[in-house]
Amino acid sequence: MKANVGGVDKAVRIVAGIALLSLFFLLDGSMKYLGLIGIVPIATALIGWCPLYTLLGISTCPLKK
């Protein structure tokens, strides 16, 4: 797995993931489980690799020389 998630992209993913995870604690009933979707952007930020970016041929990592 070649890294394809850059620094700014990682920060945005972590913030979005935390926001989504907060829904787990704020919502009631079965809707609160939608907040668990926030695990995905946090995981991709920590790993530095996004499978969707691979399929689309996108990379936000700086070029390595």
63 pLDDT more than 80: no
pLDDT of residue 64: 66
* pLDDT at residue 59, rounded to an integer: 93
Q: What is the pLDDT of residue 1?
A: 85
Return the pLDDT at 60.
Answer: 94
Whether pLDDT at 11 is above 70? yes
Tens digit of pLDDT for each residue in 49-62? 999 999 999 999 98
Q: Which residues contact 49 (CB under 8 A, 6 or more apart)?
A: 1, 2, 3, 4, 5
Average pLDDT, stretch 8-35?
A: 96
- Give the count of alpha carbons within 13 A of 1, CB side only: 11
